[in-house]
Chain A
Amino acid sequence: MALALAKYSPLPPRWRKVIQDLWSNKTRTALVVLSIAVGIFAVGSVAGSRVILEQDLTAQYLPSNDRSAQINASNIDDDFIKSIRDMPEVADAQGRFATVFRMKIGERRTNLLLYGIPDFNDIRINSITFDSGDHEPPWRQVLLDRGSLELFGVHEGDSLSIELPDGTMRNLGIAGVVHDINAPPPNFSNFGTAFATYDTIAWLGFPKANNQFRIRVSEGLSDRQHIQDVVDKIKKRVEDSGRTFYGFGIQQSPNVHYAWDPVTAITLILTVLGAFSLFLSAFLVVNTITALMAQQLKQIGIMKAVGAKGWQIGALYMTLVFVFGLISLAVAIPLGALGAQGFAGYISGLLNFDILTKGVPTNVWLIELGVGLLIPIVAALAPVLSGLRVSVREALYSSGLGESKKQKSRPSAQPRRSLFSFVTRSISRPMLISLRNTFRKVGRLALTLGTLTLASAIFISVWTVRDSLTNTLDKSVRVWNYDISVNLEHTQQPEKAVRELLQIPGVTQAEGWITSGGRRLRDDGTESRPISILAPPGGSQLLRPQLVEGRLLLPDDVSGVVVSSDVINDEPDVRVGDQITMKFGPRRFKFEIVGIAENTLAGNVGNSRVMYMNEEGYRKVLAAGPNVSNFIVVTELHDAQSRQAVGAAIEEQFKRLQMRVDNFETISERRGQIEFQFNILVVFLLLMAALLAVVGGLGLAGTMSMNVLERTREIGVLRAVGASDGAVRGIVIVEGLLIGFISWAIGALVAIPISQTLSGAVGQAFLRGKLAYVFSTNGVFIWLAAVLIIATIASLVPALRASRLTVREVLSYE
Chain B
Amino acid sequence: MAGTIACLPCRQPYISMLAKLRRGKSPAANPAINLSFDGSKGSNGHPKSGATDAASQTDATRYKHGNTDLIECRTLVKEYETDAGRFLALKGVNLSVSTHEFVAVIGKSGSGKTTLINMLTGIDRPSRGEVLVGDTAVHRLSEGQMAVWRGRNMGVIFQFFQLLPTLTVIENVMLPMDFCNMYAPRERFDRGMQLLELVGIAENASKLPSQTSGGQQQRAAIARALANDPPIICADEPTGNLDSKTADSVFELFSDLVARGKTILMVTHDKDLAKRVTRAVTVADGEIVDEIRN
Q: Do A and B come from one complex?
A: yes
**Cα distance A5–B174 when bound, in Å?**
16
When C-beta atoms are compared, the residue in chain B nearest to A308 turns out to be B179
B118 is an interface residue with CB less than 8 A from chain A:
yes
Question: Are B151 and A16 in contact, CB atoms less than 8 angstroms apart?
Answer: no
Question: Which A residues lie within 8 Å of B150 (CB)?
Answer: 305-307
Set B124, B171, B228: member contacting A13, Cβ < 8 A: B171
When C-beta atoms are compared, the residue in chain B nearest to A393 turns out to be B124
A812 is an interface residue with CB less than 8 A from chain B:
yes
Question: Are A307 and B171 in contact, CB atoms less than 8 angstroms apart?
Answer: no
B5 is an interface residue with CB less than 8 A from chain A:
no
Question: Are B123 and A305 in contact, CB atoms less than 8 angstroms apart?
Answer: yes
B242 is an interface residue with CB less than 8 A from chain A:
no
**Cα distance A308–B163 when bound, in Å?**
14
Set B123, B205, B224: member contacting A393, Cβ < 8 A: B123
| A307-B148 contact, Cβ under 8 Å, with A302-B162, A396-B123 | yes
B136 is an interface residue with CB less than 8 A from chain A:
no
Q: How large is the interface on B (under 10, 10 to 19, 20 to 34, 35 or more residues)?
A: 35 or more
Set B166, B180, B210: member contacting A20, Cβ < 8 A: B166
Set A6, A312, A812: member contacting B168, Cβ < 8 A: A6
Task: Give min CB distance, B211 to chain A, whole Å.
Answer: 11
Question: Which A residues lie within 8 Å of B176 (CB)?
Answer: 306-307
Please, what's the 1-or-0 string for A1-41, where 1 marks a CB less than 8 Å from any CB in chain B? 11101111110111011001100100000000000000000
Question: Are B162 and A305 in contact, CB atoms less than 8 angstroms apart?
Answer: yes
Question: Are B123 and A2 in contact, CB atoms less than 8 angstroms apart?
Answer: no
B239 is an interface residue with CB less than 8 A from chain A:
no
Interface residues of B in 200-223 (CB under 8 A from A): 202-203, 205-206, 210
B284 is an interface residue with CB less than 8 A from chain A:
no
| A307-B118 contact, Cβ under 8 Å, with A16-B167, A20-B166, A812-B210 | no
| A5-B167 contact, Cβ under 8 Å, with A12-B178, A302-B162, A392-B123 | no
**Cα distance A12–B148 when bound, in Å?**
18
**Cα distance A303–B148 when bound, in Å?**
11
**Cα distance A812–B210 when bound, in Å?**
9
Set A12, A309, A391, A396: member contacting B162, Cβ < 8 A: A396
Interface residues of A in 283-341 (CB under 8 A from B): 298-299, 301-312
A814 is an interface residue with CB less than 8 A from chain B:
yes
B144 is an interface residue with CB less than 8 A from chain A:
yes
**Cα distance A632–B37 when bound, in Å?**
109
**Cα distance A7–B192 when bound, in Å?**
12
B132 is an interface residue with CB less than 8 A from chain A:
no
Please, what's the 1-or-0 string for B178-203, where 1 marks a CB less than 8 Å from any CB in chain A? 11100001100110010001000011
Set A7, A302, A812: member contacting B164, Cβ < 8 A: A302
| A310-B151 contact, Cβ under 8 Å, with A13-B174, A305-B162, A396-B123 | no
What's the count of A-B pairs with C-beta under 8 Å?
Answer: 109
Set A5, A21, A307, A393: member contacting B179, Cβ < 8 A: A307
| A299-B164 contact, Cβ under 8 Å, with A2-B202, A3-B193, A307-B151 | yes
Task: Give min CB distance, A164 to chain B, whole Å.
Answer: 84
**Cα distance A265–B36 when bound, in Å?**
75
Q: For the complex, count residues of A whose C-beta is within 8 A of B.
A: 37
When C-beta atoms are compared, the residue in chain B nearest to A409 turns out to be B83
**Cα distance A265–B282 when bound, in Å?**
79
Scoring A6, A9, A16, A307 by chain B CB atoms within 10 A of each residue's CB, the highest score goes to A307
Question: Are A303 and B206 in contact, CB atoms less than 8 angstroms apart?
Answer: no
When C-beta atoms are compared, the residue in chain A nearest to B193 turns out to be A3
Question: Are A306 and B168 in contact, CB atoms less than 8 angstroms apart?
Answer: no
Question: Are A309 and B166 in contact, CB atoms less than 8 angstroms apart?
Answer: no
Please, what's the 1-or-0 string for B141-166, where 1 marks a CB less than 8 Å from any CB in chain A? 00110011011100010100011111
**Cα distance A299–B203 when bound, in Å?**
24
**Cα distance A5–B205 when bound, in Å?**
7
B98 is an interface residue with CB less than 8 A from chain A:
no
Question: Which A residues lie within 8 Å of B168 (CB)?
Answer: 6
| A309-B193 contact, Cβ under 8 Å, with A6-B205, A393-B118 | no
Question: Are B167 and A20 in contact, CB atoms less than 8 angstroms apart?
Answer: yes
Question: Which B residues lie within 8 Å of A10 (CB)?
Answer: 185-186
Interface residues of A in 449-496 (CB under 8 A from B): none
B104 is an interface residue with CB less than 8 A from chain A:
no
When C-beta atoms are compared, the residue in chain B nearest to A395 turns out to be B123
Question: Are B166 and A306 in contact, CB atoms less than 8 angstroms apart?
Answer: no
**Cα distance A10–B148 when bound, in Å?**
23
When C-beta atoms are compared, the residue in chain A nearest to B176 turns out to be A306
Task: Give min CB distance, A314 to chain B, whole Å.
Answer: 11
Task: Give min CB distance, A6 to chain B, whole Å.
Answer: 3
When C-beta atoms are compared, the residue in chain A nearest to B182 turns out to be A307
B121 is an interface residue with CB less than 8 A from chain A:
yes
When C-beta atoms are compared, the residue in chain A nearest to B163 turns out to be A302
Scoring B152, B166, B185 by chain A CB atoms within 10 A of each residue's CB, the highest score goes to B166
Scoring A1, A12, A301, A814 by chain B CB atoms within 10 A of each residue's CB, the highest score goes to A12
Question: What are some 19 contacts across the A-B interface (CB < 8 A)?
Answer: A3-B193, A3-B197, A6-B206, A7-B206, A13-B171, A14-B175, A14-B178, A298-B162, A303-B164, A305-B121, A306-B175, A307-B147, A307-B176, A307-B179, A308-B151, A310-B143, A312-B179, A392-B122, A393-B118
Give B contacts to A, CB under 8 Å: 118, 121-124, 143-144, 147-148, 150-152, 156, 158, 162-168, 170-172, 174-176, 178-180, 185-186, 189-190, 193, 197, 202-203, 205-206, 210, 224, 227-228
Known pairs A13-B175, A312-B179 / 13 extra A-B pairs, C-beta < 8 Å: A3-B193, A5-B202, A6-B206, A14-B175, A14-B178, A14-B179, A16-B171, A17-B171, A305-B121, A305-B123, A306-B227, A307-B150, A392-B124
